[in-house]
A and B are shown apart, each in its own frame.
Chain A
Amino acid sequence: MSVPAETIAAVATAQGRGGVGIVRISGPLASVAAQAFSERELKPRYAHYGPFYGENREVLDEGIALYFPGPNSFTGEDVLELQGHGGPIVLDMLLQRCIQLGCRLARPGEFSERAFLNDKLDLAQAEAIADLIEASSAQAARNALRSLQGAFSQRVHNLTEQLIGLRIYVEAAIDFPEEEIDFLADGHVLGMLDKVREELSTVQREAGQGALLRDGMNVVIAGRPNAGKSSLLNALAGREAAIVTEIAGTTRDVLREHIHIDGMPLHVVDTAGLRDTDDHVEKIGVQRALKAIGEADRVLLVVDATAPEADDPFALWPEFLEQRPDPAKVTLIRNKADLSGENIALEVSEDGHVTISLSAKSTDGLDLLREHLKACMGYEQTSESSFSARRRHLEALQQASKALEHGRAQLTLAGAGELLAEDLRQAQHSLGEITGAFSSDDLLGRIFSSFCIGK
């Protein structure tokens, strides 16, 4: 085998939501991944139905796992195929797990490339693959350029600039100890490092928001029994997805619905009403509801506008607060505005909390909610503060962040400037996967133009 022994992974099916989604893994780690995902020995070339496990044995998805030991596989290497459900979030979780296991994301055309290099495709097909690699990389370059002209690139470029600024100081202190510039000893470097870390975490947050825009936001509808949560779900979905009755506690389990608002994907989760109950089934429903709240990107807390508790809903629900949803992620929905007689309106309090008065039954005010959800996803700010980050970008930011964390510990705990330097190099290498390479000679150039160096 001629290709470097790296294991690559990618989603093999078309982008978007399909019935079936396939993640393909090729390389020496494929067997390790097979074991990790299925927790059993897979018989070569047999279809095994079962759960795909995550890092902590949680079930990421269910489907068919197929293991092809090399050379009898598409690429000629060990190959694992996971055929699961087609949702982008599920596929993304599977990919993330692959990366955790030591795989890297495949470049466009890389599976075919390996197949060719391992004699799995004949020479006649070589030209076609070359064209494919060229075309896909050109396409990727165009895509990247498009994305890079936007906000994301600007932010990552700024971040990289800051990091380079920091590296200049660290490397200069190491390579020119006889100059009067020992930045490692004074607090200068640490201050700069913390600034870069802060900026990086901002970019990470915003990039995460971009991913939300692409892959969909998780919206959980929560509240007391009979506040009208299921009615709200039905109103948003535009169909009778949930059973609605006047009996409190009708919804006993978590109900999921995928909807689109102006083409933007939303995963809406209806939950059992939060209350103390002796009913065993309902109790489990409440627990699940609380769990869903904890995982939500956005919580719609629904109150009955005609009920007395509507005045201070948060104080009344200790169970809700125990889940500690970020208050900024909660929107208060005053339902049944048709009955309370209040105006259909969206109000923003001084501390930024949003309250919407609406009627799920008459659908008055539902447009306000839809606009609000779009705003939450960053719909209006796409060109300014949030970006269409790909999994690859998020991964790179994560790596960079880890390296900076590590380097900081080396500097503060052990005073090890050369190890900090190594971590900074790693961090920049990670960012470089988004923005392109930066050589050591470029770095030296910056040092020489920043400081007067040399005897």
Chain B
Amino acid sequence: MNFPSRFAVIVIGGGHAGTEAALASARMGVKTLLLTHNVETLGQMSCNPAIGGIGKSHLVKEIDALGGAMAMATDKGGIQFRVLNGRKGPAVRATRAQADRILYKAAIREILENQPNLWIFQQAADDLIVEQDQVRGVVTQMGLRFMADAVVLTTGTFLGGLIHIGMQNYSGGRAGDPPSIALAHRLRELPLRVGRLKTGTPPRIDGRSVDFSVMTEQPGDTPIPVMSFMGNKEQHPAQVSCWITHTNARTHEIIASNLDRSPMYSGVIEGIGPRYCPSIEDKIHRFADKESHQVFIEPEGLTTHELYPNGISTSLPFDVQIQIVQSIRGMENAHIVRPGYAIEYDYFDPRDLKYSLETKVIGGLFFAGQINGTTGYEEAGAQGLLAGANAALLAQGKESWCPRRDEAYIGVLVDDLITLGTQEPYRMFTSRAEYRLILREDNADMRLTEKGRELGLVDDARWAAFCTKRESIAQEEQRLKSTWVRPGTEQGDAIAAKFGTPLTHEYNLLNLLTRPEIDYVGLIEVTGQGAEDPLVAEQVEIKTKYAGYIDRQQDEIARLRASENTKLPVDIDYTTISGLSKEIQSKLGATRPETLGQASRIPGVTPAAISLLMIHLKKRGAGRTLEQNA
């Protein structure tokens, strides 16, 4: 039967990508359906119980700046907060939180259930309705037909999921959940390039069987960090510590002598795993001379004894898992609650996507999350939000949106994926961003909230708070710029004495703040009346300290802007462009870049080739577009 009412956007999947997609679409005022095989697992953290970290917290704060749920749920579910790289510069600082799985899930569920324009329905999706290369709707397991203008697929590891423990394997979407086999078959019929990836988790441990007294305690930071721009520390539940222990020679011996029973090393697993999140057998095998590896013991929640031993993800047989765990200091008598496993799943080559995350071949069909070859809740959430927003824009008949590489990590993520594709599960790192000094976690709101408001993603409360903050920053900068200090005056002498730098002539306070030895708090101690809000003070200080570098990066961005704005037609036939080498023709054909800028980032595409593309565009009469965008 046809479902009685029609939706503008349908989101399939209720993980981190799916929930952000559904929420974004609904926030934009579009009638949205979230279709999940199990309402109870909405917002489930399937892997480690933590949100954020280097590069990832940048994504979380960008999601937050665009009105998304992840940061707010983290503030309500976080049971240990830390700032990583705290002593390095602000551009690379990153907030990380351990989350109570139950509290986190509950917070997401609460946000979902209270979101206007959003309907939730429990039923596995089995098929897509596609007519003339345009998606029209979804068919569920029981044959129910939902019609819509756009469909966002966020299937995670469920597409053709295959779980491995030792040499045994079985179909599954995640431990305890069924895979989406029918949908996987259906999608494989579409003209999209498909591949297999692999990821894994460690065995979970019962905390009552662990001796913490021989481990190193790792408490949260004080003052306690907050994830959301709208959050505060009063929202945090009780805080607990993590613990650090290490593998040892005995552990390594057990693993080395059982490698033949590893599905990874015996060739049973064909999918490629992430290099930065290797299984313990991988670490031992590849870095044989390293005598010990850290294991972070992370609590799964306040109301459970279950622990997540981060660092020993494995797909070795269960009997070996027991030996590994019990060889580690403090876990000699540990009881495993759930075995570790590896999972292989289908992903689609993200080079078949547009910047909007819509597939190039099927109109209205969007992909977000692990289906695009990424890993991580944050990467999934970021894509979900973008895909949901673009699905809504499509339904509204408006032009799609994606931030550029110099505007957001979301932009870096999408550009990397659709330009380069990926050979392993893609995870964000700050080193992927060439404009790292501009893309900071502290200024995600300054970079994105205005755009989010324009799209309809940002509500009134967030918008008001943002405007106040932005105004205060401008005011404080103006005040510093117009406050002058002369040498020989009381203030001048006080500054010279405090920072050890005599003033040679008159300076305004903003000039002084650019000096490496002078900090904002110290400066205000001497000159009085600074910004009240520490977040405002932080923005003023960082902007000033980074000014020289940021100016240089802005110049670079401005230089590249024109080619970023020059669109390449979708129907371009690269084999007909005179002068392009066969190799470059095939590279351009494989990625089908949307803009000249994207084309220039494909490895092997030379500046001469870009020149030839410009000339080709001009010849086919696209000159007008060029001029408009320049």
List residues of chain A with CB under 8 Å of any chain B CB. Answer: 1-6, 107-110, 113, 116-117, 119, 123, 126-127, 129-131, 133-134, 136-137, 171, 174-180, 184, 413-414, 416-419, 421-422, 425, 437, 439-441, 443-445, 448, 452-455
The answer to whether A422 and B55 have CB atoms under 8 Å apart is no
The answer to whether A5 and B559 have CB atoms under 8 Å apart is yes
Lowest 9 CB-CB distances: which A-B pairs, in order? A137-B608, A134-B579, A2-B626, A418-B89, A452-B287, A414-B516, A448-B275, A455-B310, A4-B562
Supply 10 A–B pairs (Cβ within 8 Å), ascending by A.
A119-B623, A130-B615, A178-B84, A417-B92, A418-B89, A439-B603, A440-B432, A441-B420, A452-B287, A455-B296
- Which of these, A136, A175, A413, contacts B430 with CB under 8 Å? A175
List residues of chain B with CB under 8 Å of any chain A CB. Answer: 48, 54-55, 84-85, 88-89, 91-92, 274-278, 283, 286-287, 290, 293-294, 296, 310-311, 313, 416, 420, 429-434, 436-437, 516, 549, 558-563, 566, 578-579, 603, 606-608, 611-612, 614-616, 618-619, 623, 626-627, 629-630
The answer to whether A418 and B611 have CB atoms under 8 Å apart is no
The answer to whether B276 and A453 have CB atoms under 8 Å apart is yes
Chain A residues contacting B606 (CB-CB under 8 Å) are 137
Chain A residues contacting B630 (CB-CB under 8 Å) are 1-3
Given A175-B54, A178-B84, A440-B431, A109–B611 Cβ distance below 8 Å?
Answer: yes
Which B residue's beta carbon lies closest to that of A443? Answer: B431
The answer to whether B619 and A123 have CB atoms under 8 Å apart is yes
The answer to whether A419 and B89 have CB atoms under 8 Å apart is yes
- Which of these, A1, A113, A437, A445, contacts B603 with CB under 8 Å? A437
A187 to B68, CA, bound (A): 42
Query: Smallest distance from the beta carbon of B246 to chain A beta carbons, Å?
Result: 10
Given A1-B630, A444-B429, A455-B296, A417–B608 Cβ distance below 8 Å?
Answer: no
The answer to whether B437 and A418 have CB atoms under 8 Å apart is yes
A sample of 6 more A-B contacts (CB under 8 A), given A129-B615, A137-B608, A178-B296, is: A134-B578, A174-B431, A417-B88, A422-B549, A448-B276, A454-B283
Which A residue's beta carbon lies closest to that of B88? Answer: A417
The answer to whether B619 and A4 have CB atoms under 8 Å apart is no
The answer to whether B434 and A440 have CB atoms under 8 Å apart is yes
Which B residue's beta carbon lies closest to that of A136? Answer: B608
Chain B residues contacting A136 (CB-CB under 8 Å) are 608
The answer to whether A171 and B612 have CB atoms under 8 Å apart is no
A441 to B310, CA, bound (A): 25
Which B residue's beta carbon lies closest to that of A170? Answer: B431
Chain A residues contacting B626 (CB-CB under 8 Å) are 2, 117
A119 to B310, CA, bound (A): 61
Which B residue's beta carbon lies closest to that of A102? Answer: B555
A366 to B46, CA, bound (A): 84
Which B residue's beta carbon lies closest to that of A2? Answer: B626
Query: Smallest distance from the beta carbon of A111 to chain B beta carbons, Å?
Result: 12
Which A residue's beta carbon lies closest to that of B423? Answer: A441
The answer to whether B608 and A134 have CB atoms under 8 Å apart is yes
The answer to whether B614 and A113 have CB atoms under 8 Å apart is yes
The answer to whether B608 and A177 have CB atoms under 8 Å apart is no
The answer to whether B286 and A130 have CB atoms under 8 Å apart is no
The answer to whether B549 and A107 have CB atoms under 8 Å apart is no
A440 to B608, CA, bound (A): 22
Which A residue's beta carbon lies closest to that of B563? Answer: A4
A119 to B618, CA, bound (A): 9
A258 to B55, CA, bound (A): 60
Given A455-B48, A455-B311, A422–B619 Cβ distance below 8 Å?
Answer: no
Query: Smallest distance from the beta carbon of B67 to chain A beta carbons, Å?
Result: 28
